[in-house]
């Protein structure tokens, strides 16, 4: 290794320090030469003296104190030049004081102290600007196209892989990395320097004149990601991120694909660790049927199950467009998959019987349901017909055809329900729990909260409102909800499906509840707008059937842990089978006669905790309707 490279390897900035001290020595020698060259008999030049040592020492301390070595030659600019001027002037004053204490300035002409800082500015600034010009010219000639200067956040494996790709890109020019790992300070990754910790992002972004920020922290948790995004927003510079680790593992995105930071990145949690061996054992080689397979949850279940080497997949879906879309996607992604797309309502006994006869499923995931809470408050008949009687129809078909496992996908709104939607889902749970004792099929219920970006959920609504310039409507300042991503919910559904023995209710660990107010603010900020200034937030009051907060368990459902840390088991509440059947027969007649009052009475009798009329009175609260500033 050559001496120069050896010095750089010991400390990247040591070479710069030695250069600057050499320039101090040269400037002092040159200044004295210029001063004495005006005399008839100038004294001979002395290259090394105690006086010069005092000069170099005093000036070196000033250069360090003014922070000259925090900058990089590669990004030398006007602020760096001003810093050099400041350091040179202060250095001249420090030298004057030091030499006065050393020898009363007996050997130093006063003109030297005036000329010296001028030469030092030239000797320190010229090499820096020349180096930057050379690097920029060489880079521009090699690219022949303008490239954005990017600062990469994260110098781990993801950051290294990203920089490796970017150095060969024409669109981006990596100018530095930021990482909290102290061991990486001053290091270079593919020639790109690690500049400092993430907390210094606003300062470092200005220093290197970054035009884009790239977040390369795929394993960051939601708290870390929120902090990073806040710092990015402070810079006012556009930012992007690499995909989350779980998206890469699942094959949804490539590792080096850049995307805008989404609300999922801020509300997501630690990646779910699944027992894929147990899941594959339970599904590989099996015939699977999914009702509602074109919806948000159903379609993601289709994608994940299709990867597990199943024998066949049947999708029962009443939306023609949704069925067409997921069928086309699966044919393209999994050309060898034996796929049957059946159009129809799973609550139609003839449709259901035909689908089961053709598919002969061994595993059924029942995802078909109406789920929009305020809308269903005035649609009791349709909510009951689809969510309760539809579940009964599919469950009875599964029993007749000898299905091994039936998984009902439920919701946290079924706990202490105050809405028609929640009450109907709770009624479906009750039927499956009690039917499990009468059937050889293992009936399993999986209960979870809101799913980010699912159809009809709050995230697409907020996104559309923001796109239209606002306002963003939040029902109540204190309203909270549990959230998880669609892939995470589906993975935990699959895990719960292989854990259950029949009759259980599994509740998914939803983490901490999130204030909808906070969700709205973050979504606005992610579009580079300011909440309350660029986009207003308006509180409109709770809607019919809506609660301030959701629950995952009823007080009588004493829950316990399972072998999976993210899945809890709730104790089912038994009910008289004869009474349940009688209520459902009466409900079927009420559906036929469109008697919604009878259906309300049926829900009240099935769930004493459900009081629809009290809920409707609560929903008539005067809207708050004030702007959030």
Residues 6+ apart with CB under 8 A from 234: 201, 202
Lay out the sheet containing 188-189: strands in order across.
Answer: 188-189, 192-196, 172-178, 148-153, 212-215, 239-241
* Helix, strand, coil share of the chain (percent; to 5): 50, 15, 35
304, 490 contact by CB (below 8 A): yes
Which stretches of 516-562 are assigned E, i.e. beta strand?
537-539, 560-561
Whether residue 471 has a cis bond before it, omega within 30° of 0: yes
d(CA 120, CA 128): 13
According to DSSP, the β-strands at 560-561 and 567-570 are: antiparallel
Other CB atoms closer than 10 Å to residue 625's CB: what's the count?
10
Q: What are the backbone dihedrals phi and psi of residue 460, each rounded to the nearest 5 degrees, phi first? A: -60, -35
d(CA 372, CA 413): 11
User: Distances from the Cα of 48 to the Cαs of 24, 51, 53, in angstroms?
Assistant: 13, 8, 8
390-400 vs 349-359: helix crossing angle, rounded to 10: 30
Label residue 106 exposed, middle or buried (CB < 10 Å: 0-12, 13-18, 19+): exposed
d(CA 388, CA 426): 9
35's tokens: 């001063």
278's tokens: 């147990």
d(CA 186, CA 128): 18
Q: What positions carry a catalytic annotation?
A: 413
Whether residue 297 has a cis bond before it, omega within 30° of 0: no
Q: What are the backbone dihedrals phi and psi of residue 421, each rounded to the nearest 5 degrees, phi first? A: -60, -50
d(CA 444, CA 408): 6
């Amino acid at each position: 290794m050559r001496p120069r490279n050896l010095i750089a390897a010991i400390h990247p900035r040591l070479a710069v320090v030695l250069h600057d001290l050499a320039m101090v020595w040269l400037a002092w020698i040159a200044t004295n030469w210029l001063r004495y060259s005006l005399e008839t008999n100038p004294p001979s030049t002395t290259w090394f003296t105690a006086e010069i040592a005092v000069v170099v020492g005093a000036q070196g301390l000033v250069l360090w104190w003014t922070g000259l070595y925090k900058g990089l030659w590669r990004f030398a600019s006007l602020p760096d030049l001003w810093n050099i001027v400041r350091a040179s002037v202060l250095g001249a004053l420090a030298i004057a004081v030091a030499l006065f204490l050393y020898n009363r300035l007996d050997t130093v002409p006063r003109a030297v102290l005036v000329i010296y800082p001028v030469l030092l500015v030239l000797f320190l600034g010229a090499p820096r600007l020349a180096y930057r010009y050379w690097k920029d010219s060489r880079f521009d000639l090699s690219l022949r196209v303008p490239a954005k200067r990017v600062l990469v956040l994260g110098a781990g494996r993801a950051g290294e892989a990203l920089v490796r790709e970017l150095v060969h890109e024409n669109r981006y020019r990596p100018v530095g990395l930021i990482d909290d790992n102290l061991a990486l300070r001053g290091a270079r990754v593919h020639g790109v320097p690690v500049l400092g910790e993430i907390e210094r992002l606003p300062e470092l972004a200005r220093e290197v004149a970054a035009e884009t920020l790239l977040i390369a922290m795929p394993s960051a948790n939601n708290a870390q990601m929120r902090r990073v995004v806040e710092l990015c927003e402070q810079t006012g510079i556009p930012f992007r991120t690499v995909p989350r680790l779980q998206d890469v593992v699942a094959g949804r995105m490539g590792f080096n694909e850049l995307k805008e930071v989404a609300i999922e990145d801020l509300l997501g949690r630690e990646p779910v660790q699944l027992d894929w061996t147990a899941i594959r054992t339970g599904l590989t080689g099996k015939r699977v049927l999914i009702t509602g397979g074109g919806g948000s949850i159903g379609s993601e279940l289709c994608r994940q199950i299709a990867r597990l080497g199943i024998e066949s997949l049947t999708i029962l879906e009443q939306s023609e467009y949704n069925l067409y879309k997921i069928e086309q996607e699966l044919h393209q992604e999994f050309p060898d998959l034996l796929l049957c797309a059946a159009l129809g309502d799973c609550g139609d006994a003839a449709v259901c019987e035909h689908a089961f006869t053709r598919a002969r499923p061994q595993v059924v995931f029942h995802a078909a349901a109406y789920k929009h809470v305020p809308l269903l408050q005035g649609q009791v008949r349709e909510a009951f017909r689809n969510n309760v009687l539809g579940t009964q129809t599919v469950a009875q078909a599964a029993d007749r055809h000898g299905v091994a496992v039936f998984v009902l996908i439920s919701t946290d709104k079924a706990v202490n329900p105050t809405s028609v939607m929640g009450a109907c889902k709770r009624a479906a749970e009750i039927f499956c729990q009690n039917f499990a004792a009468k059937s050889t099929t293992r009936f399993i219920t999986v209960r979870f909260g809101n799913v980010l970006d699912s159809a009809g959920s709050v995230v697409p609504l907020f996104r559309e409102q923001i796109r239209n310039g606002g306002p963003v409507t939040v029902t109540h300042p204190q309203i909270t909800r549990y959230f998880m991503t669609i892939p995470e919910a589906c993975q935990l559904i699959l895990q719960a499906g292989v854990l259950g023995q029949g009759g259980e209710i599994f509740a998914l660990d939803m983490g901490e509840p999130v204030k909808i107010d906070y969700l709205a603010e973050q979504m606005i900020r992610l579009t580079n707008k300011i909440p309350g200034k660029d986009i207003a937030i308006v509180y409109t009051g709770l809607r019919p059937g809506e609660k301030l907060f959701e629950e995952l368990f009823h007080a009588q459902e004493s829950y316990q842990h399972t072998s999976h840390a993210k899945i809890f088991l709730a104790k089912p509440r038994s009910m008289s089978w004869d009474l349940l059947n009688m209520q459902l027969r009466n409900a079927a007649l009420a559906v036929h006669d469109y008697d919604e009052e009878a259906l309300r009475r049926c829900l009240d009798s099935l769930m004493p905790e459900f009081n629809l009329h009290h809920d409707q009175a609560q929903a008539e609260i005067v809207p708050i309707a004030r702007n959030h500033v």
